[in-house]
Structure 1
Amino acid sequence: MRELLVGRRVLTFSDRADIAVGIRAGHTDRQIGVEIGRDHTIVWRERRRNSTKTRGYKPVAADCKAEDRRKRPQVRKIDADLVLMVRVKADLLRSRTPRQIAGRLHLEARDSTVETMIKSPDAQGRTVSHEAIYQWIYAMPKGELAREAILLQSKRTVRKRRKPVGERTGGRIIGMVSIDDRPETAADRRVPGSWEGDLVIGRAGKSAVATLVERSSRFLIMLGLPEGKKATGLADVFIDRVNDLPALMRGSLTWDQGTEMARHAQLTVATDLPVYFAHPHSPWERGSNENTNGLIREYLPKGIEITSHQPYLDAIADELNDRPRATLGYLTPREVFTKLLNDNVATTA
């Protein structure tokens, strides 16, 4: 229970993770508010604004929605200042670039000996950045741009969309912790709770299932992904499932460098499960997971669309967890996994 906070401090991801845990436990908004140290009306408003009809309240998705809402357009500096707007429009009509316009405005403002350019209205000391000019242009409807005869040298009327982290096909994931920094206990198969994970991809890369394999027992968990490979959806699915695991089985997770794990930091905050990343093109660093994914392909062959129906995926995992394995002395993964849990209970009793 946290001390009640006053003021306008925005909810953090940790708060949202605690709200999700409280919802799953059946707590009321008032009870959750007491746990996170916020008024119950804040919890009610958070659930109302950031829940979905199909998936309910998921902390990573809620955090992303709140972040997007904070980025909503505000009144732009050029629109709010008629003198500045007239000057910028006049210079654009003379085929000057936003960087040239911004640079000249700053020069005129700081050097009184520099006169206003010919055919340019006096800006009266106003300045604006080139980025603000670009954003102002891109925010204008195409019809208005045509009427004002505003045309950039690039001929673009909209800014090329940059995909957010987690949707990019390349690039480095922010905050990655290398497998080289993984504790020695995580590499020791005799220590339970270390997991290896990856995706099994469906037809045309549009569907996928997440697979987790516990290194000591080879116990398999398969997770349906209704949103495909999106990092936000993957993190929320993981948080729900990992929080159901006993603390003993939340030692670490080793993943490859696919950007579907771009939300690893939120996953760790919500579950206390640290995530480590294998080296590129090194599947042997997640050998148990790679071998298990090969077995899964018996049920989900390449070229098919992979379902996100969890009971069906659970049935596949159940069959594989009940197969005796030579590497386990012909015990099944379920038998070894259960024994690990029972031994831990006996030790702590």
Structure 2
Amino acid sequence: MGAVLSSRRVKKGPGRRPQSAKRQRFMELRERGWSVRAATREVGVSRTTGANWSRGYKIYRNGVVVGFVAALDRLAVRQISARFLSQDERIAIADLRQAGCTIRQIAEQLGRAPSTISRELRRNAPGATYRPFEAQRLATTRRARPHLRRIETNHELRDFIGALLEQRWSPQQISRHLRLRFPDEPEMWLCHESIYQAIYQPGSVMMRPTRLAPQRRSPLRTGRDHRRAHQRVERRRPRFQQPMRTIHQRPFQPEDRSQAGHWEGDLIVGKEHRSAIGTLVERTTRLVRLLHLPLRDGDALHHALTARLADLPPGLVRSITWDQGTEMARHRSITKSLGTPVYFCDSRSPWQRGSNENTNGLLRDYFPKGTDLSAHSPEHLAAVEDELNHRPEWCSTTKRRRTSSRRC
């Protein structure tokens, strides 16, 4: 296909020229259930741009609305086969047509069949003038081939599934039950993914509260009305900019508690996530130390950890295992101040800090959920800490009580 030089200006988007790769990636993430905010952060554009791509935007001139740019269609940014005309080729057709070239001359320059150019002009030029961007929009509209789902055409199937959803059945349970209930009627079978798609579809009749749980709009146990975004582990962005050590790099196994000096830590959070208390538990002796945090940020945690562990000998501060919370963003500085490595658990794996999780449950007797934790003074935290450290601990392995194991 010969190169065609065009002086036609490429249509601009909001504030900058449209970036095809970013638009395509943005629409892919939106299809997978990502929010506009998360998708724009991932592809590197502003939230305003993402909102314009998702919802469209009005064009103002002298304070008056003069037009509307429709929302970005996922088909408009999807990579298509080279046998279809591209937007650049349509721009070239418009320029050559305006220059007075015949259909065969245009086809020869573009490396296309004359019938392709003739069909393009007949389909996408309803008036006398061929407009390439309007032609691209019309072609994209024709590529969409909506079809009705089986659950929409089969009313018996839809009512049957709706009745089971009202009983809080999961889509997996419904899918298996359909094959047992209608073994000789394949038209009544449906996989669980199709049921999820029918529920998540905008305006779905399946999205309604049940009789016994009217406070929940979604029939799903999760309560979701849209699909949660999933991403492969190898494609996830790291939690922190600085490289972090994972729990799998610790020099001992999770069940090994033979050596003292390895600590597990986390935060217990107060009302509306506005306050927090840091908790530390030594894995071998179960010694508890509480951190008074005036603010819930990395600097406050850094200063609190340094102050609470600085009085211990190096043999009792060998490592710290923490959750992947943003409060540990200064983990490199903590390692430098204390001379001990900081390891991070896997996402959504609280059992990897079992001692700390159990201790946090005990601490909720003193600091209930939904309360303002900033009201507790350092002296009060020290008193709670002292009471916990003097409480006998039940050892489940030896079936006896240990009264001095918390002392260091």
Q: Structure 2-normalised TM-score? A: 0.40
For the pair shown, which has the larger CA radius of gyration, 1 or 2?
A: 2
Q: Which has the higher contact order (CA 8 A, sep 6+)?
A: 1
Give the structure-1-normalised TM-score: 0.46
Question: Which of the pair is proportionally richer in helix?
Answer: 1
